[in-house]
Structure 1
Amino acid sequence: MSEQPIGQEPQLIKTGDGSHSLFHPVLNETYHSHHGALQESQYVFIRQGLDAWREQHADARSLQVLEIGFGTGLNALLSLQWAKRHGVQLRFTTLEPYPISLALVQELNYADLLGGQADMLRLHEASWEEDVIIEDSFVLHKTTTPLQEIDFSSSSYDVVFFDAFAPSKQPELWEKPLLAKVAAALATEGLFCTYCAKGQLKRDLNSLALTVETLPGAPGKKEMVRARKGH
């Protein structure tokens, strides 16, 4: 497991909705919107991702999610709570080459705001590179393999949370060949969700035969993108 390089441990910050995020000193970037980490994750990935998928697949009892950027584990915690709430079997695969320390995890206030302190710890303490049953309704697979190296050839994801750092900070993850790799791993009618709404991203996703929607952004943000894979 690759941990944050010495001297580069992210710093705890509080965002506009009272929830914590982290600031990466090397990238000079926060892990979430400074307007509100919790409200951004709830809106972009749960409402416009999981809820939107369920609205189109009301009878489905299982789905697979791929997350690019485990980070603080907030999206995973919200997804776990969503799966339990809706009685859906969810397999959650997440990529994170640089996991944060457990000491830093224990400072995050998500459990104070959402409940689920035990769940939060289980998500972060779960073994890497293998399936871990967190709950009957939730299987977690964490990997430190970078997006550039991972093999999705046998995978089919219903929803993708593309939550990498911004294109201006981590441009290599937003290049078209990697977007194509992720798009190929999407199931038919699968959803690609991201907080980013750059014109180049939308053009690239369109060229990959995805139907792109520009939606209102999370509070404090103008727009976000959701793309759907057709038949």
Structure 2
Amino acid sequence: MKRTLFKTGDGSYTLHIPEWDEQYHSKHGAIAEALHVFIKEGLYHWFSKNKETEVSILEIGFGTGLNALLTFLETEKNPFKVHYTGVEAYPLEIGEIVKLNYTSLLNASEKIFLTMHHSPWEQISSISENFQLTKQQKFFSEINSENSFNLIYFDAFGIRVQPELWTEEIFKKMYTALNPNGALVTYAANGNARRAMQTVGFEVERLSGPPGKKEMLRGTKI
């Protein structure tokens, strides 16, 4: 499937899929969206509710690696450790990755970012003392973890182009994968997605969304 470089509203790049008219990140700002949804309302929300020094994160849609990079950068500033698992059925080519401008905009290490993408699939890689990465190449429907994660970054393509990723079946897998009191955050605010999350047991909150979106969702496993 063809992918083209797309400059978003905050100056950061994402990849555009012409066939779907869909981007990997928000056209209003790739970095801005990720910081708001996954770092602020995900990572820091979880630490504010749980007085721990380690967190286990599952990312649904590893994609460009932006969410992993931003999470890694937080471990450079804070005394906590992250065990990060990224699931991706269709990994990007390294030639696409090197065109992204995240490290320059974030004043981050290009070497670290590329190490994440070069790290072998299905193996644990120590990116730093405080950040451990495992990439798994499989479909989201193949996830069968139980009580394994504290936090899920649900960053799948939108319900308009892949409605099968926003069903009760998928959210049940997410609920099962989380530890009690674990949380799932997503940029989406679609009513069908919200109802599917509630049906499988999530306590769902509507939160203020990132630039260009009125709302987003966070679900907690009670």
TM-score (norm 1): 0.93
- Write the distance in 1 (CA, Å) between the matches of 2:177 and 2:143: 11
Name which of 10, 29, 35 aligns with 1:42. Answer: 35
In the alignment of these two chains, the number of paired residues is 221
Offset at residue 9 of structure 1 (A): 3.7
Q: Indicate whether 1:106 and 2:98 are aligned.
A: yes
In structure 2, C-alpha distance between the alignment counterparts of 1:122 and 1:136, rounded to whole Å = 14
Distance 1:26 1:179 in 2: 26
The residue number in structure 2 matching 1:4 is none
Structure 1 residue 101 displacement after superposition? 0.9
User: Residue 140 of structure 1 aligns with which residue?
Assistant: 133
2:88 counterpart residue number: 96
Counterpart in 2 of 1:53? 46
- Superposed CA RMSD in Å reads 1.0
Residue in 1 that maps onto 2:158: 166
1:97 deviates by 0.9
Report deviation, 1:150: 2.7
What does 1:1-231 align with in structure 2 at a 5 Å threshold?
8-58=1-51, 60-114=52-106, 115-153=108-146, 155-230=147-222
Distance 1:229 1:193 in 2: 12
SS at the partner of 1:99?
coil
Stretches of structure 2 that go unaligned for 5 or more consecutive residues are none
SS of structure 2 residue aligned to 1:148: helix
User: Secondary structure at 2:183's aligned position in 1?
Assistant: strand
CA–CA distance in structure 2, aligned partners of residues 147 and 178 of structure 1: 7
CA-to-partner distance for each residue in 1:122-166, whole Å, 9 max, x for gaps? 11111101111111101101011111123213x511110000000
C-alpha deviation, 1:183, in angstroms:
0.7
Question: Partner of 2:142: helix, strand, or coil?
Answer: coil
> Which structure 1 segments of 5+ residues have no match?
1-7
Task: Tell me by how many angstroms 1:172 deviates.
Answer: 1.0
TM-score by length of 2: 0.96
CA distance in 2, matches of 1:197, 1:19: 23
Report the Cα offset of residue 103 of structure 1: 1.1
